Amino acid sequence: MKNDVTAIIPTLREAPHLGTLLADLLGQTGVELTILVADGGSDDGTQEVARSLGATVVTSEAGRGRQMNAAARQATSTWLFFVHADTGLPRPDLLQRALQRLWDEGFDDPIAGHFPLRFPSPTCRGCLRYRYLERKSALGRPHTIHGDQGLLIRRSFFESLGGFHEELPFLEDQVIAAQIRQVGRFLTLPGYLQTSTRRFDDGGFFPTYLQMAVVMGAFVAECPEFFDACRQIYAEKSGVSTGELLRAVAVASRQMAPLRSLRRWARVGRFVRRNAYQIPLAVDIACEPLVGPDGVFLPAFEEWIEERLEASPFAPALDVTALGLTVLTLLAIFAAVDDPLP
């Protein structure tokens, strides 16, 4: 089994977190590991921390996709492992076991892997919201695989995909995940990665989740007008608020022809319907002490969907209903967060 791996870590001011991840990577057994830190211009000592622990620093213009592509071009290993700086590898044989799984599935196949997530904070272990995110990360469904779950992929396969999308400072993970699914397979690997809650701590859980929903809706709707507006926002600062994202939706809607707008909203409705499994998933997690970890409601819902709903002539009507309910829910959540529209 070829076990030579290059770990690529995109960073921008990650000095407080990088040391822990590098220590975990250096402790991995059964693999030949090279570590590249793909830095976008940190001024907080990130590059010095990386070099002091034996990593090679590759610099480029800021932008996660651009940074990871720059590092990948310098890699010569069989495998690439893209991993975020605020991640932990809890087992020293995590990469070895993951490579064995990929090898067993077919070395020459177009295949890649991601890990389920765990939140290490003790306060998260009993929290329904974070248990929900953990379970969701293990499902391997379309649009549930994100960069914080890691990406383990054969270098030749990665290069055949053209690398990461570089146009925007986000969504490079969703673009490459969709490409992998189009031509190959995405496996949920054994074990898990530990990930930070800082994103939710900084922005609040529900406002942050709402932002993710808005961005994913624009992504599945294939709405470049929205991302053009976001590009202007990101050019001015490092992040966006919920209100700014919704304003970008309004700007994009005004720029679209009515027919094109209807088609895009139809895609969003279909996306919402196909993600309705999240409701029984949440119920199963809440009822876990009673029904066990395998759940009751989600398996039954999935069977019903597969056997009846997808082939139903009422699916378009359900798409519209799902979209309407989602818009009302998002507006209700938005009204509750401290980010008012002007």
Report the CATH number at residue 41. Answer: 3.90.550.10
62 and 87 within one domain: yes
64 and 147 within one domain: yes
Within a domain: residue 77?
A: yes
What is the average pLDDT across 81-96? 96
More confident position, 68 or 313: 68
Residue 116 has what pLDDT? 96
Nearest to 114 by CA among 46, 40, 20, 185: 185
244 and 195 within one domain: no
174 and 95 within one domain: yes
Rounded to whole angstroms, how far apart are CA atoms 113 and 153?
7
179 and 124 within one domain: yes
Per DSSP, the residues of 88-101 read: E---TTHHHHHHHH
233 and 138 within one domain: no
Structural tokens at position 266: 């139809």
Within a domain: residue 168?
A: yes
Within a domain: residue 60?
A: yes
pLDDT in tens, 182-209: 999 999 999 999 998 888 887 778 778 8
| Sequence-separated (6 or more) residues with CB below 8 Å from residue 232 | none
Nearest to 294 by CA among 189, 138, 109: 138
Instruction: Indicate the residue among 199, 230, 262 that finishes a domain.
Output: 199
209 and 190 within one domain: no
Within a domain: residue 128?
A: yes
Lowest-confidence segment of 27-41, 202-216, 316-330 by average pLDDT: 316-330
Q: Is the pLDDT of residue 286 over 60?
A: yes
Rounded to whole angstroms, how far apart are CA atoms 102 and 222?
31
Task: Name the pTM for this structure.
Answer: 0.87
Helix (H) or strand (E) segment spanning residue 333 = helix 315-336
Within a domain: residue 341?
A: no
234 and 159 within one domain: no
Rounded to whole angstroms, how far apart are CA atoms 303 and 300?
5
| Sequence-separated (6 or more) residues with CB below 8 Å from residue 91 | 97, 191
Per DSSP, the residues of 251-301 read: HHHHHS-HHHHHHHHHHHHHHHHHTTTHHHHHHHHHTHHHH-TT-SHHHHH
Q: Which domain holds residue 222?
A: 204-336
Q: Is the pLDDT of residue 14 over 60?
A: yes
151 and 24 within one domain: yes
What is the average pLDDT across 222-228? 78
- DSSP 8-state assignment for residue 31: S
Q: How crowded is residue 290: how many other Cβ atoms within 10 Å of its Cβ?
A: 8
Within a domain: residue 76?
A: yes
Rounded to whole angstroms, how far apart are CA atoms 283 and 299?
12
Rounded to whole angstroms, how far apart are CA atoms 87 and 22?
10
Burial class (CB in 10 A: 0-12, 13-18, 19+), 98: buried
Lowest-confidence segment of 2-6, 51-55, 128-132 by average pLDDT: 128-132
Q: Is the pLDDT of residue 113 over 50?
A: yes
181 and 106 within one domain: yes
175 and 255 within one domain: no
193 and 236 within one domain: no
Within a domain: residue 227?
A: yes
Count of domains in the chain?
A: 2
Per DSSP, the residues of 69-117 read: HHHHTT--SSEEEE--TTEE---TTHHHHHHHHHHHHHTTSSEEEE--E
Percent pLDDT > 70 in the chain is 77
Within a domain: residue 69?
A: yes
